[in-house]
């Protein structure tokens, strides 16, 4: 077995590169291999989180490739790892097993209490709480959408965890739409569609993650539609997530799209600075990573658009500090995170956005800052306001001031106009995307 492990390590080294390998995989030790169960020792729990987040399945698929049979991976924190962390791990693992024995597979870490609220996610959070409080009766379905790494999976899983704790007798199923697709395909192929129906139509709570992946998959859409209808009629709760709102999921049937839209649609926006700070604070406390205020500010300022990346960075810093014994300071952070933070990424300013946007639309930059209201100026100005809200940390009223002394309500109105037009007008949408790319350089 030692041979298998060494072979596995050398394959992984080629796949992930020397740096990631040295830091994350090399410190792992093979403790035990019995039948399909493989137990690995890791220095602390950062390792497991990191590897599961960034290379999910890499270890198991590599081991499966070498051994030719499926494997079940388990991790154990080494003797030197701290005991508090081991306890937390054991508790989460215990809960996970308990639910698994009832056929419920939910990530135990994704709960409401570990979800940090901010302006950008408060609507979706409130909707999810309401659904968790009165299943099938508040909003059905609840449709949560937002960009990558903003907490959709966390939030919809939290509903599942809450219900699992409250109602031991409830049937809860979390499924990604890809997994659902595979199940449909396989059921059709093996003549087991009745079983599939039995499984999906007798639930109390169905969570379907990343539903946008069913675009172009006719049979899956058909099955999902009937599943949702059946559950809905029985007043059973449906929760869906997607990277975009229903009306932007183009290649699905109209009736499925309208089914998606019949309850409540809630969006999650990129995290504002306060939320990023709060998440860093909470995660650092939970992982007991010591961070100075300077480092916290540095991280919150540099990593803006993705909470997963923010957490991943913290874990990397925690692991680095735990391995080297060095305290975490800004220069360590710069060094460890250099692949995601570029040294000279000056923050994008409203002025920069105005300059490039006016060039893009062929008007004078001066006009954009003026009070002029002709159409030729008004639309580029609205676009520039919208982009400023997306790409800078300026407050709405600061943005407004830069555009001929407009107030914050005007900026909100502009953003709404542009969002609506982007959703309706494919050409315009592409134009704005191109502009944003150009501004980001
Ligand atoms: P998505 O499904 O939208 O891509 P996830 O739900 O997987 O995003 O979230 C990515 C990571 O960020 C997860 O580890 C999640 O726990 C964390 N996260 C996201 N939003 C929050 C939040 N508001 N509070 C705490 N953690 C969050
Ligand atoms: Mg997700």
Rg (the chain; Cα; Å): 24
* Cα–Cα distance measured from residue 44 to residue 63, given in angstroms and rounded to the nearest whole number: 22
- For 386-411, the pLDDT digits (tens) are 999 999 988 999 999 999 999 999 99
Mean pLDDT over residues 349-367, rounded? 91
The Å distance, Cα 177 to ligand 2 centre, comes to 11
Mean pLDDT over residues 366-393, rounded? 92
What pTM was estimated for this model as a whole? 0.71
**pLDDT for res 185:** 94
Report the residue count for the chain. 441
Task: Walk me through the domains of the chain, giving residue ranges and CATH numbers.
Answer: 2-100 (3.30.300.180), 122-268 (3.40.50.300), 273-336 (1.10.8.60), 350-440 (1.10.1750.10)
**Burial (CB count within 10 angstroms: exposed 0-12, middle 13-18, buried 19+), residue 64:** middle
Q: Is the pLDDT of residue 84 over 90?
A: no
- For 316-348, the pLDDT digits (tens) are 898 888 878 889 999 999 988 987 776 555 678
Contact in structure between 127 and 249 (CB atoms under 8 Å): no
- Any residues with Cβ below 6 Å from ligand 1, and which? 110, 114-116, 121, 146, 148-154, 279, 307-308, 311
**pLDDT for res 168:** 87
User: Roughly how many angstroms between the first and final C-alpha of the chain, as a whole number?
Assistant: 50
Q: Of 23-27, 340-344, 362-366, 397-401, which gets the smallest average pLDDT?
A: 340-344
Q: Is the pLDDT of residue 88 over 90?
A: no
- For 125-153, the pLDDT digits (tens) are 999 999 999 999 989 999 999 999 999 99
Q: What is each CA distance from 128 to 121, 123, 145, 246, in whole angstroms?
A: 11, 9, 12, 18
The ligand placed nearest to the CA atom of residue 313 is 1
Average pLDDT, the chain: 90
Tokens of 390: 């997306």
Q: Is the pLDDT of residue 3 over 60?
A: yes
The Å distance, Cα 18 to ligand 2 centre, comes to 29
Mean pLDDT over residues 146-170, rounded? 94
- For 249-288, the pLDDT digits (tens) are 999 999 999 999 999 999 999 999 999 999 999 999 888 8
**pLDDT for res 216:** 93
Which residue's entry shows tokens 């030692």? Answer: 2
The residue nearest atom 4 of ligand 1, judged by CA position, is 149
**pLDDT for res 50:** 79
Q: Is the pLDDT of residue 7 over 90?
A: yes
* Cα–Cα distance measured from residue 50 to residue 279, given in angstroms and rounded to the nearest whole number: 17
Q: Is the pLDDT of residue 187 over 60?
A: yes
Contact in structure between 31 and 40 (CB atoms under 8 Å): yes
> What is the best residue among 106, 125, 308, 314 to mutate for testing ligand 1's pocket, by most ligand atoms within 8 Å of CB?
308
- Give the helix/strand (H/E) hosting 273: helix 273-287
Measured in whole angstroms, the distance separating CA 28 from the mean position of its chain's CA atoms is 27
Contact in structure between 225 and 129 (CB atoms under 8 Å): no
The Å distance, Cα 210 to ligand 1 centre, comes to 14
Contact in structure between 259 and 234 (CB atoms under 8 Å): no
Identify the sign of the CA torsion 109, 114, 117, 123.
positive
For residue 34, what pLDDT band results from cuts at 50, 70 and 90?
Answer: confident
Look at residue 353 and give its three-state secondary structure. Answer: helix
Q: Kindly give the residue spans of alpha helices, DSSP state H, lying in 68-192.
A: 83-100, 122-133, 152-166, 177-189
Mean pLDDT over residues 9-26, rounded? 86
The ligand placed nearest to the CA atom of residue 121 is 1
**pLDDT for res 346:** 65
**pLDDT for res 59:** 92
Contact in structure between 163 and 112 (CB atoms under 8 Å): no
**pLDDT for res 343:** 52
Q: How large a percentage of the chain has pLDDT more than 90? A: 63
Mean pLDDT over residues 4-25, rounded? 88
The residue nearest atom 16 of ligand 1, judged by CA position, is 154
The Å distance, Cα 303 to ligand 1 centre, comes to 14
């Amino acid at each position: 077995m030692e041979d298998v492990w060494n072979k596995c390590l050398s394959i992984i080294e080629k796949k992930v590169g020397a740096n990631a390998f040295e830091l994350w995989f090399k410190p792992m030790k093979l403790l035990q291999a019995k039948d399909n169960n493989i137990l690995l020792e890791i220095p602390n729990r950062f390792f497991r989180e990191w590897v599961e987040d960034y290379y999910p399945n890499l270890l198991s698929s590599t081991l499966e490739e070498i051994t030719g049979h499926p494997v079940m991976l388990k991790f154990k924190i080494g003797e030197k790892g701290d005991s508090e962390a081991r306890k937390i791990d054991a508790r989460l693992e215990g809960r996970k097993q308990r639910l698994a024995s009832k056929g419920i597979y939910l990530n135990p870490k994704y709960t409401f209490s570990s979800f940090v609220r901010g302006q950008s996610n408060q609507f979706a959070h409130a909707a999810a709480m309401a659904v968790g409080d009165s299943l099938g009766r508040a909003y059905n379905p609840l449709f949560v959408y937002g960009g990558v790494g903003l907490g959709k999976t966390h939030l919809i899983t939290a509903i599942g965890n809450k219900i699992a704790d409250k109602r031991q007798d409830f049937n809860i199923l979390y499924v990604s739409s890809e997994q659902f697709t595979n199940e449909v395909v396989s059921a059709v192929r093996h003549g087991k569609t009745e079983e599939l129906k039995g499984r999906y139509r007798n639930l109390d709570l169905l969570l379907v993650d990343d539903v946008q992946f069913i675009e172009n998959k006719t049979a899956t859409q058909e099955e999902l539609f009937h599943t949702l209808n059946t559950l809905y009629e029985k007043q059973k709760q449906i929760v869906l997530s997607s990277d975009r709102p229903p009306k932007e999921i183009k290649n699905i049937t109209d009736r499925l799209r309208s089914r998606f839209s019949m309850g409540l649609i809630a969006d999650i926006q990129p995290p504002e600075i306060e939320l990023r700070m709060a998440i860093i604070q909470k995660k650092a406390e939970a992982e007991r990573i010591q961070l100075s205020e300077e480092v916290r500010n540095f991280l919150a300022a540099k990593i803006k658009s993705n909470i997963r990346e923010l957490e991943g960075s913290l874990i990397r810093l925690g692991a680095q500090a735990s391995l080297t014994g060095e305290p975490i300071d800004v220069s360590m952070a710069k060094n460890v995170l250099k692949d995601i933070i570029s040294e000279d990424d000056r923050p994008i300013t409203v002025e920069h956005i105005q300059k490039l946007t006016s060039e893009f639309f062929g008007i004078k930059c001066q006009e954009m800052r003026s009070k002029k209201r002709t159409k030729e100026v008004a639309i580029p100005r609205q676009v520039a306001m919208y982009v400023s809200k997306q790409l800078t940390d300026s407050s709405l009223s600061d943005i407004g001031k830069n555009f001929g002394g407009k107030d914050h309500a005007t900026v909100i109105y502009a953003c709404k106009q542009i969002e609506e037009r982007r959703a309706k007008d494919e050409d315009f949408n592409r134009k704005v995307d191109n502009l944003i790319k150009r501004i980001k350089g």
